[in-house]
C-alpha cells in the first residue's frame, strides 16, 4: 500500500446474529476481491454480528481482541492473500462493548484496531461504550493507514488526527441509513480532499429490523474524486486504485499554531 493501493469496499445486506453465516459470506467476498487484485477489503460496520441487534446481543457476541472470530478472519486473510478490515463488537474491560474495527494483514496478523469514538443516536449509545482514545494510524506494507467507523469520518478532526500523523489512506466500515446521503455525496469526498488522503467507505444495503441502509459505498481519491461508488440498493464489490500522491497543500499550509491540533 505505497504508491498505488487497490482497495475493495464490500457492500452487503446485514446478517443479524449470524456470525458463522457472515464469515462464510466474507470468505466468498474476499475470494472475489483477491481475484481482482485487491490488497484490502473493507466490510460494513459491525459486520460479523449485524449492527442493530440490542445491547444484550452485542454483549453476548462481543469478544476480546484475538478471539475466535478474529482467528477465523485471520484464516480467511491468509487463504486469500489480502488484508481484511472488518467491523465487530469488542468486549470492554469494565463491562459493555465497543463498536470496533480491525485490520488483519494477509499474513493473518492484526495490523491495526479502532474503537468507535463518536456514537450516533440512541441505539449506538444504548449498545456501545464510546472510545476515549484518539484515532491513530499504523504501518501497513510501507504506508500509514487509519481506521474510522461510520459517524467518526463525518468529523473533520477525526480524519485530520490520522493524516497529520502520516495516514495516506483511511478505511471506514459504516452503517449509514436512508436519509443521510449527504455523507457520501459531500462529507466523505470533502474529508479526502481536505486531507489529501484516499478513503474507502463500506456500507450496508437493504434493511434489518430497525434501519434501512442507503448503500452507496464509495472509494474516494486524495483530491476528493469518487473513484468507485456502489448503487443504493444492491450488494456490490467495488474496487479502485488509489493514487499515491495528492496535489493538495492543505496539510502543508495549515496554521496549527493558531488552533489546537
Closest CA to 196 of 149, 160, 227, 154: 160
Residue 258's Cβ-count burial label (10 Å; 0-12, 13-18, 19+) is: exposed
The H-or-E segment that residue 178 falls in is none
pLDDT score for 247:
77
8 A C-beta contact, residue 40 and residue 84: yes
The pTM assigned to this predicted structure is 0.97
Residue 21's Cβ-count burial label (10 Å; 0-12, 13-18, 19+) is: exposed
Which residue is associated with the grid cell 472470530?
A: 69
The series of mean pLDDT values per 10 residues for the chain, 261 residues long, is 75 98 98 98 98 98 98 98 98 95 98 98 98 96 96 98 96 98 98 97 98 98 97 98 85 87 55
Closest CA to 217 of 85, 119, 31: 85
Rounded-to-integer distance, Cα 245 and Cα 249, Å: 11
Closest CA to 200 of 227, 223, 179: 227
User: What order do you get walking across the sheet with 40-42 strand by strand?
Assistant: 110-115, 97-104, 83-91, 40-42, 5-11, 236-242
Alpha helices in 81-181 (DSSP H): 121-127, 156-163
CA 209 → CA 52, 65, 184, distances in Å?
A: 8, 28, 23
Closest CA to 155 of 130, 138, 127: 130
β-bridge mates for residue 142, sequence order: none
Sequence-distant contacts of 254-257: CB under 8 A, at least 24 apart? 256/164
Residue 112's Cβ-count burial label (10 Å; 0-12, 13-18, 19+) is: buried
For residue 234, the number of C-alpha atoms closer than 13 Å in the C-beta half-sphere is 6
Rounded-to-integer distance, Cα 220 and Cα 43, Å: 16
pLDDT score for 2:
45
**Cell numbers describing residue 130:** 464510546
Residues known to be catalytic:
45, 116, 150
pLDDT score for 261:
55
pLDDT score for 66:
97
Amino acid at each position: 500500500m505505497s504508491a498505488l493501493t487497490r482497495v475493495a469496499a464490500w457492500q452487503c445486506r446485514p446478517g443479524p446474529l449470524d456470525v458463522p453465516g457472515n464469515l462464510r459470506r466474507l470468505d466468498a467476498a474476499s475470494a472475489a476481491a483477491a481475484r481482482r487484485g485487491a490488497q484490502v477489503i473493507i466490510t460494513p460496520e459491525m459486520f460479523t454480528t449485524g449492527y442493530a441487534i440490542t445491547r444484550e446481543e452485542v454483549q453476548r457476541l462481543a469478544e476480546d481482541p484475538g478471539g475466535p472470530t478474529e482467528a477465523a478472519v485471520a484464516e480467511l486473510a491468509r487463504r486469500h492473500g489480502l488484508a481484511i478490515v472488518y467491523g465487530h463488537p469488542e468486549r470492554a474491560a469494565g463491562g459493555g462493548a465497543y463498536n470496533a474495527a480491525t485490520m488483519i494483514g494477509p499474513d493473518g496478523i492484526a495490523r491495526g484496531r479502532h474503537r468507535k469514538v463518536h456514537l450516533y443516536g440512541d441505539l449506538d449509545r444504548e449498545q456501545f461504550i464510546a472510545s476515549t482514545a484518539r484515532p491513530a494510524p499504523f504501518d501497513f506494507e510501507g504506508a500509514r493507514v487509519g481506521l474510522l467507523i461510520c459517524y467518526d469520518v463525518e468529523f473533520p478532526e477525526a480524519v485530520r488526527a490520522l493524516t497529520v500523523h502520516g495516514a495516506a489512506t483511511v478505511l471506514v466500515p459504516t452503517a449509514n441509513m436512508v436519509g443521510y446521503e449527504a455523507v457520501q455525496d459531500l462529507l466523505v469526498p470533502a474529508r479526502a480532499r481536505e486531507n489529501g488522503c484516499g478513503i474507502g467507505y463500506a456500507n450496508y444495503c437493504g434493511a434489518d429490523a430497525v434501519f434501512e441502509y442507503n448503500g452507496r459505498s464509495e472509494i474516494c481519491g486524495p483530491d476528493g474524486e469518487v473513484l468507485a461508488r456502489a448503487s443504493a440498493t444492491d450488494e456490490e464489490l467495488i474496487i479502485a486504485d488509489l493514487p499515491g500522491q495528492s496535489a493538495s497543500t492543505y496539510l502543508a499550509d495549515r496554521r496549527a499554531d493558531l488552533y489546537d491540533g
